[in-house]
Amino acid sequence: MEHYFRLLERNKQWADRARQEDPDYFRRQLGKQTPHYLFIGCSDSRVPANTLTGTDPGEMFVHRNIACQVHPNDLNLLSVLQYAVDVLDVEHIIVCGHYECGGVRAAATDEHFGLVDTWLAGIRHLRRLHRRELDAITDQTARLNRLTELSVLQQVFNLSLTSVVRQAWERGRRPLIHGLVYSIGDGHLKELVRAVDGPDKAEELAPRV
């Protein structure tokens, strides 16, 4: 229970400190949320969206899952996406993978890990599509890093195929979709693709067989 009680104590310290620095801080949080971003990231505990982007509560709407996948039948993600785009009218959608991702590492092998195998099937398919490029990378870490990057680009493309995003683009040029990779080793974000704002730009990311 030590870690649990420590969590509660840290919450109290944080709340007290926030009120001391800004007496109206929590009162402002009671209003309607108006985030600028939808952040789709990995569930990895080392990749906290607000911390690594330096954003405050209220600035970022967040969805996280293993290896930040965008599946067309994931009702959880699609519901978050629809709310973010149609109700909150976010300007930016950020797909953020990260190096040293356990999901990507698992998908890069032929081992079986149980239920998660179904979830990671898309990355395994991506590995087969890009086998020639990946096999040419002799360093294992660099090979996994590249697979991580390819997966992020694939998820950006997958987002572009959703009816939510397509209908939003028909109304105007938002949301803008960006693909980033976070480096746990140095804390930096690497930009892979910026401001995908329509089918034409998205098609450039489509996997080629």
Find the catalytic residue in 68, 101, 127, 178. Answer: 101
Residue 151 inside a domain? The answer is yes
Total of domains in the chain: 2
pLDDT of 67 over the 60 cut: yes
CB contact at 8 A, 67 and 107: yes
Same domain, residue pair 3 and 49: no
Same domain, residue pair 16 and 44: no
Same domain, residue pair 23 and 92: no
Domain limits for position 170: 32-203
Residue 186 inside a domain? The answer is yes
Report the amino acid identity of residue 54: G
Q: Which pTM value belongs to this model?
A: 0.94
pLDDT, average across residues 63-67: 98
Residue pLDDT, tens place only, 96-112: 999 999 999 999 998 99
| 46 a catalytic residue | yes
Same domain, residue pair 58 and 102: yes
pLDDT, average across residues 60-72: 97
| 178 a catalytic residue | no
pLDDT of 174 over the 90 cut: no
Residue pLDDT, tens place only, 112-135: 999 999 999 999 999 999 999 999
Find the catalytic residue in 42, 68, 96, 178. Answer: 42
Find the catalytic residue in 6, 17, 27, 46. Answer: 46
Residue 21 inside a domain? The answer is yes
CB contact at 8 A, 148 and 123: no
Same domain, residue pair 74 and 89: yes
Q: 3-state SS of 144-176? A: HHHHHHHHHHHHHHHHHHCHHHHHHHHHCCCCE
